[in-house]
Amino acid sequence: MRLRPCPRPNGVRPCDWSSCVRLISPDCVPKNPTRAIPTRPIEQLDASFISFQDASCGRVLALLPVPTRSLRVVLPQWTNEVAVPLTRLFGSPTLQDVQMSGDAIPRVIQNPPRLLMPSLALDHLRPALTTLTLTGCLPSRLLAKFTDASWTFPPTITHLDLSMNGLLTSDLAFLTSRWPPQLRRLNLAQNQFHAVVTPLPQTLRVLNVAHNLAMREDLHPERWILALPSDLVELNVSMCQLPVSFGPLLLCARENSGQHPRRPGGMWLQIWARGNFEISNEVVRALVNENV
């Protein structure tokens, strides 16, 4: 196990760079550590595990310093065993950005008792948190069955990324009543649902459902397309293999957005629909053309 500073991005002050730590951890860590990793308080923590064993990953997470601004954890698999030490890293009252990523979909389907979400106490996240990313670590198909009914997202979240989780329409139905009330950006790209479940938060400004090939099977797309939030300014339905019937509905949603009284003049809904080969190029261009 070793700690090393992240490369300093352009424009970042040296003091910010010195607070950024990246962890690369194999599974050979002490079973009975006597002290935490010696490091001063940090703003950003990026912990990437290249291999996985429940016990060793949990021990490493228990040793890490609590970041004050952003936390990113990448695990090959997500289980209940890592949830408790991970929750400790949520402890800073100034934590703004949490990203948790992995490739756990095959395992969580095979081992329901080891699902992450029932044990991941997101209510421990602090009021400063505005950005949450959960990719490859949600229990597709089993989200509602194995997650406590009282579980919800922190209400302060404005940017939420749930892409690449294999979520189905039933999963979205479970999440619908749990969306953060001030949500502005929602990324649901690269999942497996066939329809967007409404209602969505009226505060939503950007919705990304690109690369959801199952949406081609939606028999009633008007139910969600014509129910999009009135303040939405960007919708991405690219690479979903949508049939030609979606074109008029998307054009209608765009036209309705331009007529909404609360929108500034000329602020039309921009709809990205490239890669849907049954929708004509003329319609695709019209969906993003600012000179309507």
C-alpha to C-alpha distance for 13 and 2, rounded to whole angstroms: 24
Q: What pLDDT shows up at residue 271? A: 96
**Residue 32: pLDDT band by 50, 70, 90 thresholds?**
low
**Residue 50: pLDDT band by 50, 70, 90 thresholds?**
confident
pTM: 0.84
Q: Report helix, strand or coil for 257.
A: helix
Name which of 189, 256, 248 is nearest 228 in CA terms. 256
C-alpha to C-alpha distance for 79 and 202, rounded to whole angstroms: 33
Residue pLDDT, tens place only, 33-48: 555 554 567 899 998 8
C-alpha to C-alpha distance for 238 and 208, rounded to whole angstroms: 9
Residues contacting 255, CB < 8 A, separation 6+:
292
Residues contacting 99, CB < 8 A, separation 6+:
70, 71, 72, 73, 131, 132, 133, 135, 161
Cβ distance 125 to 95 under 8 Å?
yes
Name which of 22, 14, 19 is nearest 41 in CA terms. 19
Element (H, E) at 21: strand 20-25
According to DSSP, residue 183 is labeled -
Cα-based torsion angle of the residue sequence 139, 178, 66, 85 in order, rounded to the nearest 10 degrees: -40
**Residue 14: pLDDT band by 50, 70, 90 thresholds?**
very low
Name which of 120, 156, 159 is nearest 138 in CA terms. 120
Q: Which carries the bigger pLDDT value, residue 54 or residue 174? A: 174
Name which of 194, 84, 71 is nearest 134 in CA terms. 71
Residue pLDDT, tens place only, 82-140: 777 888 888 889 999 999 988 644 343 333 333 445 445 665 666 789 999 999 887 77
Residue pLDDT, tens place only, 202-260: 999 999 999 999 999 999 999 999 999 999 999 999 999 999 999 999 999 998 886 65
- To the nearest whole number, what is the mean pLDDT of the chain? 79
What is the arithmetic mean of pLDDT over 177-195? Answer: 96
Q: Report helix, strand or coil for 284.
A: helix
Residue pLDDT, tens place only, 137-171: 877 777 777 777 777 888 999 999 999 988 999 99
